[in-house]
Amino acid sequence: MSGAGSSLVPTETGCQRFRKDPAAFWAGWFLVAVGVACLLSPWIAPYDYQKQDLALGAVGPGAGHWLGTDTLGRDVLSRLLQGGAVSLGVGLVATVVALLVGVLYGVVAGQSGGLVERAMMRTVDILSTLPLTLIVILCMFVFGQNIWMIFLAVGGVSWLTMSRIICTETVALKNRQFVEVSVALGQSKFGVFKKHYLPNLNGIIAIYATLTVPGVMMLEAFVSFLGLGVQAPMTSWGLMIKDGADIMEECPWLLIAPSVVFALTLLSLNFVGDGLRDAFDPRSSKK
């Protein structure tokens, strides 16, 4: 119960508090390391991710290929690095859009109330109903087969549920006394947003943002599976998990390797999310 919130004036900044949280700190560095490795994959990958070795076929992890090879004899580690660039990119785009667009949209809708809120929420309804697959096919037709389409699609949908959740929370906050007092004292709308809405929303923002990332990575796998996203020989973590699941009895390492990397990344992401929430929420209890 006793918390970092014992004093009303924070004596250290959120960044300083974040650095003192070992789990979040190291998880953050892990994410950075994975990201950098994936970005540098053309130079540091042990093999070319698309080089096939049909004579070799699928072999388990060993000296030559640390994480084994797939059915076409391609090096799994190199493919993981290449696929990570796609998957992490998708996750990053989704997070940024969900945080910027989703949160702002939700707060504005919830704060305005009345007709404005309803119009904004019905717009979200319409957008989440339109068949994404059709839109992706159409974009491919107009802009050509292009890996950027997948980022566009992911960015387009990742903010919808976030805005819905934030809107509800804002409506509940709007009637709390401290917000009413703040408004009555003449605080500007942005001031209320910064001082009262954001600190009270950041818990749910952190949780939902970390839930968005695996969701969109799977969305990318689904769209790619339909032949509309990432094209062979390129790959992504979602696609590798999908392919691995198809032959998990014969070649379990093809499922395990991408799943473990995926899980570790999500785990770190959760630590970072929790750490950021604690660091910027003076009220939340910490051990």
Partner 1 sequence: MRYGYIFTRLAEMVPVLLIVVVATFFLAHAVPGGPFEKDKRMPAEVKKRLEEYYGLDKPLSAQLVTYVGNLCKGDLGPSLKYPGWSVNEVIGSRIPVSIQLGLSALLIAVLIGIPVGVLAASRPNTWLDWVPMGFTLLGICVPSFVLGPILALVFALGLGWFPPCGWGSPIHFVLPALTLGIVTAAPLARLTRGKVIEAGNQDFVRTARAKGLPERRVWFVHALRNGILPVVTYLGPAAAGLVSGSFVVESLFDVPGLGRLFVSSIVNRDFTLILGTTLVYALALLILNLVADLAKAALDPRIARGGTR
- Contact pick of 122, 189, 191, 194 for partner 1 (by CB under 8 A): 122
Q: Which is nearer to partner 1, 20 or 176 (CB)?
A: 176
In angstroms, the CA 250 to CA 177 distance is 62
- The number of beta carbons lying within 10 Å of the beta carbon of residue 234 is 17
**Computed over its alpha carbons, how large is the radius of gyration of the chain?**
22
User: Which one of 26-34, 74-82, 92-100, 128-136 is the stretch in contact with partner 1 (CB under 8 A)?
Assistant: 128-136
Enclosing H/E stretch for 265:
helix 253-280
Contact in structure between 190 and 128 (CB atoms under 8 Å):
no
Q: How many CA atoms lie within 13 A of 114 on its CB side?
A: 2
> Shortest Cβ distance from residue 99 to partner 1 (Å)?
16
Cβ(237)–Cβ(80) below 8 Å: yes
Q: Which stretch binds partner 1 (CB under 8 A): 44-52, 59-67, 86-94, 198-206?
A: 198-206
Q: Which amino acid is at 182?
A: S
Give the pair of three-digit tokens for residue 271: 């630590």
Binder to partner 1 among 255, 257, 272, 276 (CB under 8 A)? 255
CA distance 166 to 169: 5
| Binding residue for partner 1, selected from 68, 203, 229, 275, defined by CB under 8 A | 203
Q: Which amino acid is at 273?
A: G
By CB under 8 A, tell whether 190 contacts partner 1. no
Q: Which stretch binds partner 1 (CB under 8 A): 82-90, 148-156, 182-190, 247-255?
A: 247-255
- The contact set with partner 1 (CB under 8 A) reads 1, 3, 110, 113-114, 117-118, 122, 125-126, 128-131, 133-135, 137-138, 141, 160-161, 164-165, 168-169, 171-172, 174-176, 203-204, 206-208, 210-211, 214, 218, 221-222, 226, 238, 241-242, 244-245, 248-249, 255, 259, 262-263, 266-267, 270, 283-285, 287
